[in-house]
Chains A and B, each alone.
Chain A
Amino acid sequence: MRRLSTALLLALVPSVALADGEMPQMDFSNPLTLDQVSWMAVILVVLYLVLARWGLPQIGKVLENRAAIIARDLAAARAAKQEADRAVALLTATLSSARANAQAEVAKAVADAKADAAAKAAALSAALDAKLAESEARIDAARNAAMAAIKPVASEAAGEMLLKLTGSVPAQEELVRCVEDALAVRKAA
């Protein structure tokens, strides 16, 4: 009966049968079922001791070691990068200071040249001014001399003209004064 129904349960094919008997796992009348547990206890205790005392700490040490080495290498790389950054900063500073120096030199040369040129120009213009003043003085002197020379000539000519026109000659001082008045009026005009 059991065979038949189990066969129907299990299969599409006829003539299926399960071997007679119980589940070996449930067969607690077999001493081996419980004896395997005590042997398992022995094996597990040994395995635990071997792993806990020998295997696992060493693996842990290997992993820690690796983490330490990686951390150390990373720190070294970071330090090297900092060093490089510092060198780059130094280079940049040197470059910029050199550039500033050069610019200062150039500016100084330009200023020197400018001052030189200005001094030369000033000297030249002073010399020219002096010459100009001298010339003007000379012109003034010449004109004054000419003006001084024109008075007697003018009064003499006026005297001559009056003599011819009127036949008489006015007093010399009056003539000179009239001529001077006329000259002064012309000069003012």
Chain B
Amino acid sequence: MDPHSAALLAKDIGAGLATIGVAGAGVGIGNLFGSFVSSVGRNPAARDAMFRDVLLGFALTEAVALYALVIALVILFAAS
């Protein structure tokens, strides 16, 4: 395998590895909504007030997954 192809292969492997980070965001989002459901079960009256915070938390957590995606995209497509 010539060096160029090896570099491309390493890039692809690296990009694939970078997407492992998405797992953490999956845990986070599941945790977030699980906690939300159980809190709403305890205090349904506070649903709307909590939902705004949940959306904010969702956006912040989801961003972590997207960082991983960005890193993968940068590995794949950024000029090298």
Contacts and interface: CB of A to CB of B under 8 A. Distances in A.
A and B touch in the complex (CB under 8 A): yes
Interface of A: 1-2, 5-6, 9, 21-23, 26-27, 29
- Nearest first, the 7 closest Cβ-Cβ pairs linking A and B are A23-B77, A5-B12, A26-B78, A1-B8, A22-B77, A2-B8, A1-B5
Give the bracket for the number of chain B residues in contact with chain A: 10 to 19
Contact of A27 (B5, B9, B16, B79): B79
B59 interface: no
B5 A26 contact: no
A2 B9 CA distance: 7
Q: Is chain A's interface secondary structure helix, strand, loop, or mixed overall?
A: loop
A29 B80 CA distance: 12
A23 B73 CA distance: 8
Contacts of A5: 9, 12
Interface in B3-51: 5, 8-9, 11-12, 15-16
Contacts of A22: 77-79
Nearest to B12: A5
